[in-house]
Amino acid sequence: MSIIRREQPRDFPEIHQVNVRAFGREQEALIVDKLRKNCNSILSLVALTDGKVVGHILFSPAVIGCKHGRLVGTGLAPLAVLP
């Protein structure tokens, strides 16, 4: 059975590995770790199958400079699933 829920601290090692395996390198996994540590407004969801993390999605604050000021929103990245 599969479910989607908010990440929990016990998921962090599995989330890290899902990102490493999905992208074939550690860079994205390290970005997730840093965003989790440094951002107050963050939504991180995991997909679980049989109690194991098989997917991860991260939403974090984003500010984009514009001609008329700035646009504040939410960035989506990374999105990772086990290969």
- Residue 48 β-bridge partners: 3, 53
pTM: 0.88
> Quick one: DSSP state of residue 51?
T
Domain ranges of the chain: 2-81
Residue 58 burial (CB count, 10 A): 23
Residue length, the chain? 83
Class of domain 2-81: alpha beta
Contact 58, 42 (CB under 8 A): yes
| Predicted pLDDT of residue 40 | 79
Confidence at residue 70, expressed as pLDDT on a 0 to 100 scale:
87
Q: What angle do CA 75, 79, 83 make, to 5 degrees?
A: 170
Please report, as a single letter, which amino acid is at residue 5: R
User: In order along the chain (83 residues), what is the average pLDDT of each group of 10 residues?
Assistant: 95 98 97 91 94 96 87 89 96
